[in-house]
Amino acid sequence: MELNLRGKRALVTGSSAGLGEAIATMLAAEGATVIVHGRHEARTNRVADTIRKAGGVAIVALGDLTTDAAADEVAHVALADGPVDILVNNAGFYRHLSWDEATPDEWASTYNANVISGVRMIRRLVPQMRERDWGRAVTIGGGLALQPMDTHPQYNATLAARHNLAVSLARELKGTRVTSNVVSPGAMLVEATKDLVTDIGPARGWGETWEDIEPNAVNSLIPNDRGRFGKPEEIAAAVAYLCSDYAEYVSGATIRVDGGLIKGAF
C-alpha cells in the first residue's frame, strides 16, 4: 500500500527512543523526511543515524518542549528546510506515584510536559498547514485516558487532556484538509517495560524466561484479547495510516491499538 508520504516533512516529538523512535523510523521508511526530536543529543543522533543508514532522510532537533524558548528552537530547526506537513505529538513523561505522592507541583509539571508541550508545537506548526490546506496532526494518547488507574493520577489526567485537545483541534480545522486524530496505545513492550517485567517476574511467580513471564504478566497486569504486550511498530503503523491520503476522511478520531485492553465499545 502506497501511503504517499514521499516529499512530506514530519516532526515526531520525543523520538529519541521508544514509541517515538518507531514512529520516526516508519515514516522515514515510507519516504518522509523526518525531524527526530529529543532532549539528549547522543540518543537523538543515534536514531537519526539509523534512519540515514537505512536510506532515509533525518534531521535532528534538540530541545525541552516544556519551555517556549526551546519550542521556538525546535520549530526553527524543523522549518529551516521547508514546511512541516506532519506533526506527531508524542513527547511526554510520568513518574509512578500514588495520590499521596503526587503533589500539586507534580501535577503542574506533568501537565506542562504532556499537554502544554504539544500545544506549543501545534501553535507553531499547524497554522502553516492550514495556509497550505494540507497537514496531519497526530497525538499519542493512551488507554489510561479512558480507563484510569488508581496510581499516577497526574499522568492519567494528562492523557485525557491530550485526547480532548486533539478532538477540539479537529473541530477547529473543519473545512480544511488538515486533520487531527489520536492514536491510543495499550501497554507497549518498550525496553523499560521489558526490563521491569523481567525483573519482578520471578518473584511474582510468572516464570524465569520471557516466554513464560510475558503471558503471566499480561494476565496479571493488563489482560487483553491478544494476550501479549504491544509492539512499538504497531503504534507506528497506525500513525503512518493517519498521515496518509487514505485517512483523509478520519477526523477527531481515536484509534486504539491496545489488544482489546479497553473494554468499552466507544
Q: Which residues are catalytic?
A: 155
Q: What is the CA radius of gyration of the chain?
A: 18
Handedness of CA 139, 141, 145, 146 (dihedral sign): positive
Three-state secondary structure call for residue 102: coil
Q: Sheet containing 135-140: give its strands across.
A: 57-62, 33-38, 9-12, 86-89, 135-140, 178-185, 254-257
Q: CA dist 155 to 102, 109, 165, Å?
A: 10, 10, 15
Handedness of CA 210, 24, 47, 127 (dihedral sign): negative
Please tell me the distance from the alpha carbon of residue 225 to that of residue 261, in angstroms, as a whole number: 7
Nearest to 163 by CA among 187, 145, 186: 145
Nearest to 89 by CA among 119, 61, 62: 119
Please tell me the distance from the alpha carbon of residue 249 to that of residue 192, in angstroms, as a whole number: 36
Cell of 199: 525483573
Count CA atoms within 13 Å of residue 116 on its CB side. Answer: 13
As a residue count, the chain comes to 266
